[in-house]
A = this chain, B = another copy of it.
Amino acid sequence: MNKVLPVMESCSSCPIRHRAVCARCDEDELEQLNQIKFYKTYTAGQTIAMRGDALDVVASVVAGTATLERAIEDGRTQLVGLLLPSDFIGRPGRDTLQYDVTAVTDVTLCCFQRKPFESLLIRIPHVQERLLEMALDELDAARDWMLLLGRKTAREKIASFLMLIAKRTVHPDGQVLGDLSRIELPISREAMANFLGLTIETVSRQFTGLRKDGVIELDGNRSVRIPDLETLLLESGDDSDGGPLI
């Protein structure tokens, strides 16, 4: 757990700075936020919260990966969100959770009791504004995912997922963490299947297909090298126009 410390360090100066919630906070406001924050850690596989639970905290992911999922009784499961460092969990103004939250690796959360956090929002309106912006970003992401789930082929789904992970392999402050052409998959084949609306077998087959076609190279199960990001983008079925790749 040592390697997460630097991130926690940065977190301690402003608890949810990762997504620039507090970009405009002054010293006094930061101090107020710091007073109500605390850290909590979970081990891989542990349930963080379940659907229907009372939601008395909001939190931001400091380290590790968690999933947000929705299931039907017969076992079918859909991953509706992938929570990577800097992502936000829980909502002011909501008192129950709609989804199951699970730690897929060891996870460190920076938490706030919801009630004090909400009162703070009233005093610091630009944080409220920022929360709306974050919610709208998530809404856009969810809608893009709807296009993927409803209209893309298995191969395009895998390519899109790899692009997503590549894009997220950057530090919150904008710096690229490592070589983009080598990414570490944060989740298992099963979680990917549930994220993409596929089965593990199909996920596996598509990985082999992309490997045989030279689009990706596999190094173990969790490490993927991407010789050419542009080729992968082409495979993802997304519009290639407009804007830089990352």
Q: Tell me the count of chain A residues lying within 8 A, CB to CB, of chain B.
A: 43
Quick one: which of A29-81 are within 8 Å of B by CB? 68, 70, 72-73, 76-78, 80-81
Q: Across the interface, do B146 and A80 meet the contact criterion of CB distance under 8 Å?
A: yes
Q: Which residue of B lies closest to A92 (CB)?
A: B132
Q: How far is the CA of A136 from the CA of B128 in the complex (A)?
A: 13
Q: Chain B residues with Cβ under 8 A from A196's Cβ?
A: 150
**In the assembled complex, how far is the CB of residue A91 from the closest CB belonging to chain B, in whole angstroms?**
5
Q: Chain B residues with Cβ under 8 A from A138's Cβ?
A: 139
Quick one: which of A102-138 are within 8 Å of B by CB? 122, 125, 128-129, 131-133, 135-136, 138
A contact set with B: CB distance below 8 Å: 68, 70, 72-73, 76-78, 80-81, 91-94, 98-99, 122, 125, 128-129, 131-133, 135-136, 138-140, 142-147, 149-152, 194, 196-197, 237-239
Q: Report, nearest first, the 10 A-B pairs whose CB atoms are least far apart.
A: A150-B197, A149-B149, A142-B142, A80-B143, A78-B147, A135-B135, A76-B151, A149-B150, A78-B150, A132-B132
